[in-house]
Amino acid sequence: MNNSRRVRQIFSIMFMTLTFLHANALMSLAQEDTVIEGGRYLYKKFCATCHGGRGHGDGPKASSLKIPPANLTHLSKINGKKFPFWETYRIIDGREQITTHGPRDMPVWGVWFQIPDDEVSTETQWADQVRGRIWQLLAYLESIQE
């Protein structure tokens, strides 16, 4: 094989690799966006009335509450700059109690983030859907940290 052919071959391999890596990066970015968008939708539907459209704790319901809703853009800030993933998970699925969120078996947002306590339901499609929703909501909350 002469030299210029080898050079061309090396260039074409480099080009293909770069194209592949670029496409891959774009694809995973698109997936993250979809998950975060799903979370944004859930947040608007179930959390924004108290915590506000952008998570600052200034929703339309806030002024009528005895305890003001938390600023959800500061969760990392008040936790040593690390997003408190599992703690927030437990708050959403109700294992960690926040009085204003209502009791675990009757949260203010209804059944959407609730896995019923019986053993069977951990295996159901419903339980999977609940975990998916919580996951998306967490991805969104993480994305709005200041």
Binding interface with ligand HEC (CB under 6 A) = 46-47, 49-51, 61, 65, 67, 69-70, 72, 88, 91-92, 98, 100-101, 108-109, 137
Between CA 145 and CA 75 the distance in angstroms is 7
Closer residue to ligand HEC (CB): 13 or 105: 105
Closer residue to ligand HEC (CB): 24 or 100: 100
Provide the CB-side half-sphere exposure for 89 (13 A, CA): 11
Closer residue to ligand HEC (CB): 2 or 64: 64
Q: Which CA distances in Å does 39 have to 18, 25, 45, 117?
A: 32, 21, 10, 24
Taking the complex as a whole, how short is the minimal distance between the CB of residue 102 and ligand HEC, in angstroms? Answer: 8
Taking the complex as a whole, how short is the minimal distance between the CB of residue 87 and ligand HEC, in angstroms? Answer: 8
Taking the complex as a whole, how short is the minimal distance between the CB of residue 126 and ligand HEC, in angstroms? Answer: 17
Taking the complex as a whole, how short is the minimal distance between the CB of residue 109 and ligand HEC, in angstroms? Answer: 5
**Percent helix, percent strand, percent coil in the chain, to nearest 5:** 65, 0, 35
**43 with 140: CB under 8 angstroms?**
yes
Closer residue to ligand HEC (CB): 40 or 101: 101
Which one, of 130, 143, 141, lies nearest residue 70 by Cα?
Answer: 141
**90 with 96: CB under 8 angstroms?**
yes
